[in-house]
Chain A
């Protein structure tokens, strides 16, 4: 149900300080997201491909991620050329909007670029170090705790649901498009929710016993190396450059 995330290779990006990665990723993806020109998008895409290469991700993983993203852009390709209006362009039987195609293309470029950068810079850190990095970057303590605890129990809860679903299937439940199916799924999920609620209570007790007082401690103190400072500083400068290019162009 929850895919194995990313095999933790030893690439430079996997090892780098997550704070630097988050900040530089936010800068670059921010500029790309705000841009309305192809040139910025293409700059971003080149950078994204470079980072992906550096992250040494399995190509299969990257392709699967991109397929998921392009599900939505495919929807835009189906609708925008027909509905966008503006200059008409006749392609064989159909008349499409030139601006509509241009818009769909721009969105596709930006979406893929942002996802690749996010994949290379953020998803290369384990969730636990991201939680700690966010705290050090000034994200509220409670939010970081929510993030870490929620991640901790996602798999436990998913497995709980799967067990219930399996038990239902063993008793002859076949999901179809009918009320019985929806009622069954509702009950299975509600049962999962009730169990999670009660588990939360027990975990809360365990935390109280060990003196939990809402504080968020980090065991990992990582300092960015000189190489990392230069590298991620460079990426951030590049983002600034792209922003200037966008404003001028």
Chain B
């Protein structure tokens, strides 16, 4: 961690931005801030940071069907290919969280997380890993019908999780850290990360009907 990771913080609350900025480790350097969709796109393309800490709900979105955060990812992903997005939200609605992950975010943490937690998540995302909170793991298990006993027969199958991936997700949902998951399943931490990334990929690529249907069913309106 010799070199600092560059971060852009996108949130429409200046209090939250400054609070987060003060809480982050020295290993993380905030190179830009933005408070709505358009300014976020401008700042991200100009600064091309390693990681964007992105609020799920942002003002100024043009697409009513998705949250502002998801729109920022969709409109900037092609412009700054090296940048990774970490969703940061107080929202607990499954629709918003899954929406922003499907748009391309590499993880989701709640705003209640401490500064060191956020810093650790930023490092993980910058290193190419996915960051799953217990709650997101729960959403994922639900969306893939894991409780109904659906298991993918091959790893290539996008619409279901493999047995191992389900085990990993279950342990994360139970509050286990990656290291603890690895110890419990007698696999390496790296393997856990591989599984998590694979789940993230499935979540983003799957055309599974329930992902959308279920998100619609939980719509606020």
Tell whether A and B belong to one assembly: no
- Residues of A at the B interface (CB closer than 8 Å) are none
